[in-house]
Amino acid sequence: MYNNKYVNEWVEQMAAMTQPDEIVWLDGSQEEKERLTKQALSTGELIELNQTELPGCYYHKTAENDVARVEHLTFICTEKKEDAGPINNWMEKSAAYAKLGTLFTGSMKGRTMYVIPYIMGPANSEFSKVGIEITDSIYVVLNMRIMTRMGKIAMDMLGDSPNFIKGLHSKGEINPEKRYICHFPEDNAIWSIGSGYGGNVLLGKKCFALRIASWLGRKEGWMAEHMLILGVQDPTGNTQYVSAAFPSACGKTNLAMLIPPKKYQEMGYKVWTVGDDIAWLRIGEDGRLWAVNPESGFFGVAPGTSMKSNPNALLTCKKNTIFTNVAINTADNTVWWEGMGVPAPAEAIDWRGNKWTPDSTEKAAHPNSRFTAPAGQCPCISENWEDPAGVPISAIVFGGRRAKVAPLVYQSFDWEHGVFIGSTMASETTAAATGAVGVVRRDPMAMRPFCGYNMGDYFQHWLEMGKKIPNPPKIFNVNWFRTDENGKFIWPGFGDNLRVLLWILARCNGQVDAVETAIGYVPNPEDIDLEGSGIDLDTLKGLLSIDKDSWTTEVADIEKHLAQFDRLPEEIKNQYEALKKRING
């Protein structure tokens, strides 16, 4: 027990409800990690991997019914429905406490309750906030240890303050019928029951650092966004920072860890990772927008991660990593997944725990299988990634998966137009959430599943921030995912995305002209360097083209999308009208 009376009282109340056999308070020490790891190994919650090849690495398999975020079971619980808005699932606050209270009652009988104090953000930064997560899962504890700064350090920061986010998690029965992820932004509280998977249970991540934090950000005048943060260092040694919001499994981790094409490496370009999933942004004293990564680890998508696509991610998870729902190579007890870039093992244990061979028709790793790895192990981690002041952002980039319609890159006319572009973003759905994959859906600022309040108010907050930032970042949109008539990606993507980032930064620095089109500023094709990219100028022209017919359809779809918002800001309506006029004449 620590000596913060607010924490102690709350833990006591939660223990009275959940009735654990014992309560363990975590301090974040190495000894504690070893003890809990041993215990998890003894119950089979963790499986030890090959400690020569993968030192400090362990494997965990979640239940088959519990492998992704569950948006339909995720709720914002406020007094009034309009505060949750038209996009979020809503439950009335006291009804939610009552409903989940029943499920939590006695849910930890026969189990240990772990109390995890943690900080989101670097210790002692103005950006940072403390959370306490109560959980009955060692897997959650060991993941939170990687993803956050946890233990005594957090209690030292909290002191005797009542100011912490109260997170309660129990695996319950791991039954989708009794699974709820509920957020109480009015009470700084999160209750999650019935799941053992990532975003549903690592409460510091999406639940706190996005849903609750977005609410706090609006109240306190800052922003919590589903964004990576990276630095591009030019040959003179100058580094400029970019943050980018793409929906889940649309390339944030990959872009954050980008390796420049050979030519650019030789010229002296470097890309540094600050964060791969979440950014907290504040206006700095110098009038620019500054960002920190509130997390201290990566919970990255495994399939598709190879030495070719993302060597930095693969190298980051060579040690001290927890792998969830990938496949285990039976021959040497290492991990494998589709798209790892090495031949499939002759025999493996698949994510369901069954024997798998290359002849199997099922996937060996779940498409949303993940690695949890310490950010500090990333070969390209920025020297400023834990800077309490954050890093100054030159450009904000929105993007998603669009097989057609959206060009490779374009720039908004100004902040307000940029907010409009973000508010109408669309992407094809992925395996990161349960439900159909590959369906186009509008996902404003990649925050549709993560905004903790009324999305109309959220757009308004973006507009207000724009007015308050004396020197705001420029706003862009990218699409790495246009396909040809055979359904193949046209743009090489990955490292070659640097070519687009350099155009973006050249625009920020006023070093390059652009073509003004109906949707925004598009590059002159000659201004994106293609040497060594494997594609020619004509292909690039195709990627930058804006097809009038598809944009006419797009505009009609945007109109339907915007019609859902009862609190749609006037500025967004006007931006829509202006776009419609520019497209349809």
E strands, 87-184, in order: 89-92, 112-120, 129-135, 149-150, 165-170, 180-184
CB nearer to Mn ion: pick between 230 and 328 = 230
Ramachandran region, residue 438 (left: φ > 0; alpha: ψ -120 to 50; beta: rest) = left
Cα–Cα distance, 36 to 129 (Å, whole number)? 26
Position 199 contacts ligand SPV (CB under 6 A): yes
Catalytic annotation on 250?
yes
- Helix H, strand E, coil C: the string for 40-94 is HHHHCCCEECCCCCCCCCEEECCCCCCCCECHHHEEEEECCHHHHCCCCEEEEHH
Shortest distance in whole angstroms from residue 205 CB to ligand SPV: 5
Q: Which positions from 247 through 306 interact with ligand SPV, judged by CB under 6 A?
A: 248, 277, 299
Give the x-and-dash track for 418-457 against ligand GTP (CB under 6 A): --------------x-------------------------
Report which of 15, 187, 193 is spatially closest to residue 109, judged by C-alpha positions: 15
Shortest distance in whole angstroms from residue 541 CB to ligand SPV: 33
Give me Rg for the CA atoms of the chain: 23
Q: Which positions from 61 through 80 interact with ligand SPV, judged by CB under 6 A?
A: 69
Position 103 contacts ligand GTP (CB under 6 A): no
Q: How far is CA 428 from each of CA 247, 274, 299, 312, rounded to the nearest angstrom?
A: 9, 26, 21, 26
Position 301 contacts ligand GTP (CB under 6 A): yes
Position 246 contacts ligand GTP (CB under 6 A): yes
CB nearer to ligand GTP: pick between 263 and 288 = 263
E strand or H helix at 563: helix 548-563
Cα–Cα distance, 498 to 232 (Å, whole number)? 9
CB nearer to ligand GTP: pick between 369 and 460 = 369
With CB under 5 to 8 Å by kind, the binding choice for 497 among Mn ion, ligand GTP, ligand SPV, none is: ligand GTP
Residue whose beta carbon is closest to Mn ion: 277
Position 254 contacts ligand GTP (CB under 6 A): yes
Shortest distance in whole angstroms from residue 51 CB to ligand SPV: 27
Do 407 and 544 meet the contact criterion of CB atoms below 8 Å apart? yes
CB nearer to ligand GTP: pick between 303 and 520 = 303
With CB under 5 to 8 Å by kind, the binding choice for 181 among ligand GTP, Mn ion, ligand SPV, none is: none
Sort strands 474-478 and 391-399 into parallel, antiparallel or unpaired.
parallel
Shortest distance in whole angstroms from residue 95 CB to Mn ion: 29
Position 251 contacts ligand GTP (CB under 6 A): yes
Catalytic residue among 57, 77, 250, 508: 250
Q: Which positions from 564 through 583 interact with ligand GTP, judged by CB under 6 A?
A: none
Q: Which positions from 31 through 90 interact with ligand GTP, judged by CB under 6 A?
A: none
User: For the chain, what is the largest distance between any 2 Cα atoms, rounded to a whole number of angstroms?
Assistant: 70
Partners of residue 167 on adjacent β-strands: 133, 190
Sort strands 289-292 and 129-135 into parallel, antiparallel or unpaired.
unpaired
| Residue type (1 letter), 195 | S
Within 10 angstroms of residue 265's Cβ, the number of other Cβ atoms is 13
Position 183 contacts ligand SPV (CB under 6 A): no
> Residue 184, class by beta-carbon neighbours within 10 Å (0-12 exposed, 13-18 middle, 19+ buried)?
buried
Position 458 contacts ligand GTP (CB under 6 A): no
Shortest distance in whole angstroms from residue 210 CB to ligand GTP: 11
> Tokens 């060597």 sit at which residue?
311
Position 249 contacts ligand GTP (CB under 6 A): yes
Residues found near Mn ion in the complex (CB under 5 A): 248, 277
Residues found near ligand SPV in the complex (CB under 6 A): 69, 198-199, 205-206, 248, 277, 299, 432
Catalytic residues: 250
